[in-house]
Amino acid sequence: MAPDPTPDPTPSPTPDSAPDLTRQLANLREDYARGGLDEADLDGDPLVTFARWFDDARAAGLHEPNAVVVATADAAGRPSVRTVLLKGVDERGFRFFTNLGSRKGSDLAANPACSLLFPWHPLERQVRVEGTASPLPRDEVAAYFASRPRSSQLGAWASEQSQPVADRAALEAAYDEVAARFPGEVPVPEHWGGFRVRPDVVEFWQGRTGRLHDRLVHRRVDGRWEVVRLQP
């Protein structure tokens, strides 16, 4: 007869031995009552409405209102998500910059479909975007790179984003080496660039009481925008 397996000395978490996180989460809720969103509030161009909502977020003093959650998927469909900073928006779409060898850079090279989310929680608002990313031209990348602080320029050279590093000291040593290598102007690394996301869907969400939130979605159809209201 085989001996009984050695019991695991670590007990399973219980409400008595560990915080009951599930219960805490279940009881966290807010009632949204800052306002509503009607079709008449929207411009025919969703980027115009986005600009207005962005101005509202800045006026309200939100920390980094240009922080945007970018969701991508690789060629096999495995998703990943992270927060970056929006660095431009116009009639062509939404612009951000990154290390092209990063996870998001690799994902977008293989599968340019992506989604963006602007979570402006203090205003009980969010904007969701679905679209296609395309690489920015190198002259546009160079112009933005030249506007960055020197420390950020050096960091773009020193960091092989998303790759393992032995420790913090190794990363700082790489930074010091780059700083010595470029005592003057810092050129744009070949591995650093940007993307522009051309939107096909833009959803404006406004929290409402009773969870009857307002969801108005612009969809690009035959070169023009159509608006539909979705149930919350």
Tokens read off for 227:
């608006």
* pLDDT tens by residue, the chain, 232 residues: 444 555 455 545 554 545 789 888 888 888 898 989 999 999 999 999 999 999 999 999 999 999 999 999 999 999 999 999 999 999 999 999 999 999 999 999 999 999 999 999 999 999 999 999 999 999 999 999 999 999 999 999 999 988 889 999 999 999 999 999 999 999 999 999 999 999 999 999 999 999 999 999 999 999 999 999 999 9
Alpha helix ranges (H) inside 66-149: 103-110, 138-147
Q: Report yes or no: 162 and 230 within 8 Å, Cβ to Cβ.
A: no
List active site positions. Answer: 211
Residues annotated within a binding site? 29-32, 82-87, 97-98, 103-104, 126, 144, 148, 152, 161-162, 205, 211-213, 215
Residues annotated within a binding site for FMN? 82-87, 97-98, 103-104, 126, 161-162, 205, 215
Structural domains of the chain, ranges and CATH numbers in brackets: 35-148+189-229 (2.30.110.10)
pTM of the model: 0.87
| The dihedral formed by the CA atoms of 206, 207, 211 and 216, expressed in degrees to the nearest 10 | 0
Q: For the chain, first and last CA: distance in Å?
A: 59
